Structure 1
Amino acid sequence: MTLKELAKALGLSPTTVSRALNGFPEVSEETRKKVRAAAEAYGYRPNMRARSLATGRAMAIGHVIPIQSGHEMVNPVFADFISGAGEIYSQAGYDMLISIVPDDRQQQAYQDFRTKGSVDGIIVHAPRAGDRRIHLLNEVGIPFVVHGRASDTHEDYSWVDMNNLRAFERATKLLLDLGHRRIALINGLEDMDFAIRRRAGVRAALETQGIALDDRLCFTGEMTEQYGHAAMTKLLALPDPPTAVLTSSMIPGIGIRRAIRESGREIGRDVSVIIHDDDLSYLPNGRDDPLFTATRSSVREAGRAAATMLLDIIATGDFTPRHVLLEADLILGRSTGPVQALTPT
């Protein structure tokens, strides 16, 4: 069905129908509802090119993905975030433009989006401490939402984040309640904001018991299975190895489990492990009987929240910074237990 045919069926002019579908304020709410209901009933789908011309919008949201090796964005957790955001874009008639660039070309990619007018807004991924992209996007005036927060950035901006500090503070306190005192942290890259906050959460919990965070028990790196395995192997080789370990993802958690098994020890009995699992659709931790004790949050839900926030900023023109802080659940699994003395193997 064409726009003209829909207008004829409704007894309205094509201009009125177009304006109703595109949310123009001069069309009454009653007419908008009537037109949208008819469009749904008749299966009408607007011509996006024509809609873009009518609204002056590109009807697309930009995502810039760096491809430099050693960067956290290689983590496939990104796929779940994109899936959540994509659901919201699709419902609103928006497309997604993904620009894959070398790490040092990110700022140019944002400027190109603005210059070409190819997107109406941008989602910023993987913020770092003092992230310069925040200032750049504030300066060019394009709507944006950050997935995460940027430590040491003094400008305000819109963001959706998980309470990383609180999640890892709670997880560490659980281990302390189980009697653990030598607690290791196998973290993500620690110039990334989430990793900075998770380390701060571990430190805060330890300090409640008068324990200093031992840097020799802390690792930082790209969150791969191999990284988790290598870090845990080194920890278990220490004269006084940790009895518990926290890690920033399910993915290194699998490597940690492999290293514990290879050492002849048992996870949950000899070494307790807590992961952050992001409620991954492609790598489930289990619902009724979780393998790992985990701080669990839905990165897909974070994608939905960020997309919803950005589309509202675009629709209203209100650039007032907005903030959504999601809390993680602490899920008990089979990977944690009371502290026991480790014996050499």
Structure 2
Amino acid sequence: MNLRELSAHLGLSQTTVSRALNGYTDVAPATRRKVVEAAERVGYRPNSGARRLATGRSQALGIAFPVDRNLLLDPHFIEFLAGVAATAGEKGYDLTVSPTTGTEDEVYRRFARTRTADAVILSGPAVEDRRIALLNGLGLPFVVHGRTQTPLPYAHVDIDNRGAFRQACRLLLDLGHRRIALINGDEGQTFARDRRSGWQEALAQAGLADDPGCPSCCGAMTEENGYRFARTLLERTPAPTGLLCSSVLLAFGAYRAIRDLGLTVGRDVSVIAHDDDLPFLRPHTLDPPLTVTRSPIRKGGEQVADFAIRLATGTPIDQLTDVKPVDLVYRGSVAAPASG
């Protein structure tokens, strides 16, 4: 069946059937259900080109892929993308990943010009992210995984990074630690800035805001950086007795550095990391098991895709913002300091 024949079969206008199949909210739920069930029963599949011309919608979500950043080697991005793809597929949407070798501007302009994406997904927002103003100017709906500083309203899904690291640092303080170092991600990105803020707030409340025994390092969240940063921090005098790491990958490196220096995790140095629940990194299998703040990044991707589809089909931006609390999972990598 084509659209005209399906419409005649249901006794509805072609406009109503088209809008029902494309998820428009102005179609009554009972009508939409009737149309979708009939389309499935007769095996109707809309022509994508005709649908785009008729509705102005592509039934696709867009993501810019900066080739020079090697995101396919970043397990956090891959797991996030898997969540986006899972929800998009469940809801009948395609996912368009468009490569760029320079800035992402041209990709977004192309999405807006060709209407090949109903909404765009932004990941890894900077503290001040110029993409927000660009997409607003293009009139292209978008959802941000994370938050950024801007007076413009925007849909977003985030976790409470500040609260997570404030809570983690307070745990170490409550156990008696007074020299707590931070091994952070790229502090040009909002998540890392917020984690630093949480760490600093907890230290300030304990009177340690400017204590030289509480240093920090930041950079790409890799195991090698975790090793290098931890070794640098632990070779200081006096050395920190607690480490807060922005990812399990950094903590893997920190564990190696601690052992190479003849120290013991959980006895000489307590370690806490943020766990994005990556499938090949299991912090509970480390020796000793790693204490974490935990929030699955795949679920974040699923919710971002859901928000993007809802935004593209008319849901107001102010109904599409969510900042989730983060769990703290206590394990054997944390204990009271062995000495002062």
Q: Normalization by structure 2: what TM-score?
A: 0.89
Q: CA deviation at 1:27?
A: 5.6
SS at match of 1:168: helix
Q: Following the alignment from structure 2 to structure 1, what is the Cα–Cα distance between the partners of residues 130 and 319?
A: 17
Q: CA deviation at 1:282?
A: 3.0
Structure 2, unaligned runs of 5 or more: none
SS at match of 1:161: strand
2:162 equivalent to 1:165: yes
Q: Following the alignment from structure 1 to structure 2, what is the Cα–Cα distance between the partners of residues 224 and 9?
A: 59
Q: Deviations over 1:229-264 (max 9, x none)?
A: 001111221121100000100111110111111112
2:204 equivalent to 1:204: no
Q: Following the alignment from structure 1 to structure 2, what is the Cα–Cα distance between the partners of residues 4 and 109?
A: 32
Q: Following the alignment from structure 1 to structure 2, what is the Cα–Cα distance between the partners of residues 12 and 138?
A: 40
Q: Following the alignment from structure 1 to structure 2, what is the Cα–Cα distance between the partners of residues 93 and 338?
A: 52
Q: Following the alignment from structure 2 to structure 1, what is the Cα–Cα distance between the partners of residues 198 and 56?
A: 45
Contact kept, 8 Å, 2:75 with 2:278, in 1: the verdict is no
Q: CA deviation at 1:40?
A: 4.0
Amino acid at match of 1:211: L
Q: CA deviation at 1:85?
A: 1.4
Partner residue, 1:176: 173
Partner residue, 2:241: 243
Partner residue, 2:57: 57
Contact kept, 8 Å, 2:24 with 2:313, in 1: the verdict is no
Given candidates 312, 315, 329, the residue that maps to 1:314 is 312
Q: Following the alignment from structure 1 to structure 2, what is the Cα–Cα distance between the partners of residues 13 and 322?
A: 32
Determine what percentage of the aligned residue pairs are the same residue. 41
Q: Following the alignment from structure 1 to structure 2, what is the Cα–Cα distance between the partners of residues 48 and 320?
A: 30
For the aligned residues, what is the CA RMSD? 2.8
Q: Following the alignment from structure 1 to structure 2, what is the Cα–Cα distance between the partners of residues 303 and 218?
A: 29
Label 1:123 to 1:261 Cα distance change in 2 as closer, same or farther (>3 A).
same
Contact kept, 8 Å, 1:7 with 1:14, in 2: the verdict is no
2:180 equivalent to 1:155: no
Partner residue, 1:253: 251
Label 1:29 to 1:193 Cα distance change in 2 as closer, same or farther (>3 A).
closer
Contact kept, 8 Å, 2:72 with 2:78, in 1: the verdict is no
2:194 equivalent to 1:187: no
Instruction: Count the aligned residue pairs.
Output: 337
Label 1:43 to 1:255 Cα distance change in 2 as closer, same or farther (>3 A).
farther
Structure 1, unaligned runs of 5 or more: none
Label 1:156 to 1:142 Cα distance change in 2 as closer, same or farther (>3 A).
same
Partner residue, 1:232: 230
Q: CA deviation at 1:38?
A: 3.7
SS at match of 2:258: helix
Q: Following the alignment from structure 2 to structure 1, what is the Cα–Cα distance between the partners of residues 159 and 100?
A: 26
Partner residue, 1:96: 95
Q: Following the alignment from structure 2 to structure 1, what is the Cα–Cα distance between the partners of residues 127 and 12?
A: 53
SS at match of 2:283: coil
Label 1:251 to 1:311 Cα distance change in 2 as closer, same or farther (>3 A).
same
Q: Following the alignment from structure 1 to structure 2, what is the Cα–Cα distance between the partners of residues 42 and 29?
A: 20
SS at match of 1:189: coil
Q: Following the alignment from structure 1 to structure 2, what is the Cα–Cα distance between the partners of residues 8 and 317?
A: 26
Contact kept, 8 Å, 2:248 with 2:274, in 1: the verdict is yes
Q: Following the alignment from structure 1 to structure 2, what is the Cα–Cα distance between the partners of residues 11 and 133?
A: 44
- Within a 5 Å distance, the mapping from 1:1-345 to structure 2 comes to 2-3=1-2, 7=6, 12=11, 15=14, 17-23=17-23, 28-41=28-41, 45-69=45-69, 75-102=74-101, 104-151=102-149, 153-214=150-211, 217-286=215-284, 291-316=289-314, 318-320=316-318, 322-341=320-339
Q: Following the alignment from structure 1 to structure 2, what is the Cα–Cα distance between the partners of residues 205 and 48?
A: 54
Label 1:155 to 1:30 Cα distance change in 2 as closer, same or farther (>3 A).
closer
